[in-house]
Amino acid sequence: MPLTPRRVATAALVVSLLAPLAACGSGERGDAPKGSGAPSVRLTVLAAASLTDVFKTAGAAYEEDHPGTTVAFSFAGSQELVAQVAQGSPADALVTADTKSMDKVRADTGTPTVIAKNRLVIATAEGNPFGVDGLDDLADPGLKVVLAAPEVPAGKYSRKILDAHKVTVRPVSQEPNVRAVLSKVELGEADAGLVYETDVASAGDKVDAVEIPDAQNAVASYPAATLKESKNAEAATAFVTWLSSPAAQELLRDAGFQTP
């Protein structure tokens, strides 16, 4: 039957309507790289606040090497992260700034692996205007000192070394995570604060660091583990394993963390 102009127009309309459906059925997914063949996975990682900068870099590197995988981080004090896990918040992996926090949710995680270590320093304003030389100076009642709260890993480590050396500090505030301590010093709301060495490194020239000798210091360990309730168990395991890889360890060292 010869095609009339009307039939040609009808056929063209049908083809235009069917084309998008054919594309949808081709197996391509809008949220995965075209042609990669990789499944689309979004991982949610609960991580200690002191990992904020390095994990943003690490997440980008991981996504580049693992097409189709997106890593979203939720940073907070370890005690807050543990509470989230205990309350059943949906996530795939957990990284805390101490082993005791991780132990509290042992029933909810896989076997933890320590991926990095850290140490405390005294953060002061740029140029150290109050001449802080060591822990003993933090007892000066005229010095505004800020610490992490006692339930925060950085707060626990701080109290441990201060008590061990019989240094009495009356902080002007106790913060919910170590980055909040750093912020207080950066903004001039505190003269000094105990933070991790990597926190000061992340602040650039906004603050100075006063080293604490190893004999007076405490070492922070960062365990990482998958969460048993993860909906992406295989991908979560791959990411946690990658954190111990040479590539990830190099990023952590560059940020000032110590090897496990």
| Domain tally, the chain | 2
Share of the chain above pLDDT 70, in %: 85
**133 and 249 belong to one structural domain:** no
Strands (E), the chain: 41-48, 69-76, 93-95, 113-125, 145-148, 173-175, 192-196, 207-211, 219-226
**110 and 231 belong to one structural domain:** yes
203-233 pLDDT per residue, tens: 988 999 999 999 999 999 999 999 999 999 9
In a domain, 11, yes or no: no
Domain range for 73: 41-117+221-254
**123 and 201 belong to one structural domain:** yes
Residue 203 sits in a domain whose CATH number is 3.40.190.10
**122 and 215 belong to one structural domain:** yes
- pLDDT value at residue 22: 39
**75 and 161 belong to one structural domain:** no
**131 and 94 belong to one structural domain:** no
In a domain, 145, yes or no: yes
Report the distance separating Cα 224 and Cα 101, nearest Å: 11
- pLDDT value at residue 204: 87
**113 and 130 belong to one structural domain:** no
**157 and 240 belong to one structural domain:** no
